[in-house]
């Protein structure tokens, strides 16, 4: 990864963060909780994938349609996140594999 890749990545992250900050406060709070959960437990390819950008797209659509964030996700944000990543390889999977092998 070269310096240009790093700079481009930072530009993309800042644009992504600006989109999150444009959301209503309740959406921002839930997004940050989802982000924290996914960074801690989530898929190995989270940073290389589009999951967080797609989450912001989903939230922007919810705002545009006048729906509340709880109406979109339900009351259990962790269960929503688990459902999002159920078919993805996670860091927890890697850890389980490492302790299961002699």
pLDDT score, position 39? 84
Q: How many residues does the chain have?
A: 102
Provide the whole-model pTM.
0.80
State pLDDT tens for residues 33-75. 999 988 887 777 666 668 888 999 999 999 999 999 999 999 9
Contact 49, 43 (CB under 8 A): yes
pLDDT at 86: 83
Residues 6+ positions from 26 with CB-CB distance below 8 Å: 68, 69, 70
| CATH dotted code for 3-100 | 1.10.1900.10
The residue that leads in pLDDT, 96 or 28, is: 28
The more confident residue out of 13 and 49 is 13
Indicate if the alpha-carbon torsion angle 75, 77, 78, 80 is positive or negative.
positive
Sequence-distant (≥ 6) Cβ neighbours of residue 59 within 8 angstroms? 23, 27, 31, 69, 72
The one-character DSSP state at 43 is: B
> What are the structural domain ranges in the chain?
3-100
């Amino acid at each position: 990864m070269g310096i240009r890749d790093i700079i481009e990545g930072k530009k993309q992250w800042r644009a992504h963060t600006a989109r999150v900050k444009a959301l209503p406060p309740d959406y921002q709070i839930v997004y940050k909780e989802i982000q924290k959960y996914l960074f801690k437990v989530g898929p190995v390819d989270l940073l290389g994938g589009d999951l967080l950008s797609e989450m912001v797209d989903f939230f922007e659509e919810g705002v545009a349609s006048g729906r509340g964030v709880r109406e979109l996700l339900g009351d259990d944000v962790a269960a929503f996140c688990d459902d999002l990543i159920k078919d993805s390889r996670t860091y927890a999977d890697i850890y389980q594999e490492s302790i299961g092998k002699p």
